[in-house]
């Protein structure tokens, strides 16, 4: 029973932290998409896309950290790991696909894939800046 409650608690915290992070990511993605598309995009769909993307990001990073055994500070060896870099590359491709497929413009057209690529690039640049300043 304790294991079951621990698993449920971990899943709830995973979703809670992902949704908090997705809110900040969605603001960046929404503003970049609005700027590059020159047309408003739907914010709640941007939030949904960023939530799906952040859930998969946490799974990928946690899986790499568990696989390599870097679950406790300092995280510098994890940040320099080739496996994490490959995982983040796959994560960026997932992010582009998710943003492209789930975020519509208000005129009911889909955003361009290049807009999704630029949004993912800006989000990852901000994320790497925050990660290296906090963990480095």
Per residue in 119-136, pLDDT (tens digit) is: 999 999 998 899 788 876
Residue 60 falls inside a structural domain: yes
Check: CB of residue 98 under 8 Å from CB of residue 55: no
Model confidence over 34-48: pLDDT tens digits?
999 999 999 999 999
Check: CB of residue 42 under 8 Å from CB of residue 103: yes
Count up the domains in the chain and report the number.
Answer: 1
Residue 120 falls inside a structural domain: yes
Residue 80 falls inside a structural domain: yes
Residue 83's domain comprises 16-135
Model confidence over 82-111: pLDDT tens digits?
999 999 999 999 999 999 999 998 888 899
């Amino acid at each position: 029973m304790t294991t079951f409650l621990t698993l449920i608690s971990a899943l709830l915290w995973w979703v809670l932290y992902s949704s908090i992070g997705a809110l900040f990511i969605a603001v960046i993605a929404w503003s970049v998409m609005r700027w590059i598309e020159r047309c408003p995009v739907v914010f709640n769909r941007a939030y949904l896309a960023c939530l799906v993307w952040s859930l998969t990001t946490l799974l990928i990073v946690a899986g790499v950290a568990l696989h390599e055994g870097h679950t406790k500070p300092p995280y510098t060896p994890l940040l320099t790991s080739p496996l994490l870099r490959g995982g983040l590359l796959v994560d960026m491709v997932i992010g582009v696909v998710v943003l492209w497929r789930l975020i519509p413009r208000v005129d009911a057209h889909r955003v361009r894939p290049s807009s999704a690529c630029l949004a993912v690039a800006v989000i990852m640049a901000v994320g790497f800046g925050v990660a290296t300043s906090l963990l480095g």
